Homo-oligomer: A and B are copies of this chain.
Amino acid sequence: MRDFSSDHRWLSINTATVRKQRGQDWPLPQILDACAARGIRAVSPWRDQVAAAGLEQTARQVKALDLELSGYCRGGMFTYTDAAQQQAARDDNRRALDEACALNAACLVLVVGGLPGASSGKPAHRDIASARAQVTEGIAALLDDARARRMPLAIEPLHPMYAADRACINTLEQALDVCDLLDPQRNGGLGVAVDAYHVWWDPKLQQQIARAGRERLLALHVCDWLVPTADLLTDRGMMGDGVIDLKALRAAVEAQGFDGYSEVEIFSATNWWQRDGGEVLDTCIERHQRCV
């Protein structure tokens, strides 16, 4: 297992972590500058942040600052109720793929979508099995393009509390079943993003990380699970403030040969998004050295 205690060379910042400072949007160009100024070598930006800053400008800035992208957030949201929605999802995922390539991301992270309509509070039906079938079909369709572009797709299983409205792939086992179905040869173009927040509770976590192996382990995301958790969406904790054994998780993925960045992704509406962004980045660095 790599020694993270003396530097932060393997720290990546998912820019959602500091998308706000003092409760206000912190523009991506400033976030990137602040990361680079601290010797942070990698980031994972969100599409809406990139769109606001401009794709070309962001690509130029990333290159000028010598930043890598540990991933790009995100494609997915494959579920639909009619052909127009299906096509719109396909088109949007093609654009996400283009952007990931333009930014030279290590992978395109896929948050696959839940029951159609549920994210806006109006689920079209209760048939999660059909949503799951649509997700598999959507990934299959995107995979051909992604392979042609040499952009790996990282399926991110989301915590089961998001099954209805964000992602109906909810365990690592389920994500790996999709990988095995669509990529039985393990050619490296399809894998998983392992986010501690989403998978820490899983009694089969160690087993499924071993099953994934190096080819399928495309990204590692870290934060912490707070006790109690006040909000389902925006109450993620800073590493060390919660109950996740992050070192054990990293040991498991590194035992498979994973040697990529460890990406800090925290959504914290009432705590970290209320603070100074630079202070948050400094805390990420310190906690990453001590707790991950």
Contact = CB atoms under 8 A, between A and B. Distances in A.
Contact of A160 (B115, B118, B201, B243): B201
Interface in A159-190: 159-161, 163-165, 168, 170-171, 174
B132 A243 contact: no
A161 B164 contact: no
B227 A123 contact: yes
A165 B227 contact: yes
Q: How many copies does the complex hold?
A: 2
A127 interface: yes
B228 A165 contact: yes
Chain B CB within 10 A, most for which of A128, A168, A174: A128
A169 to B, nearest CB: 8
Given A201-B128, A243-B118, A225 B164 contact: yes
Interface in A242-278: 242-245
Contacts of A232: 161, 228-229, 232
Nearest to A170: B201
Interface string A68-99: 00000000000000000000000000000000
A78 to B, nearest CB: 16
A203 B131 CA distance: 11
Given A132-B203, A201-B160, A201-B163, A228 B115 contact: no
Interface of A: 115, 118, 121, 123, 126-128, 132, 159-161, 163-165, 168, 170-171, 174, 200-203, 225, 227-229, 232, 242-245
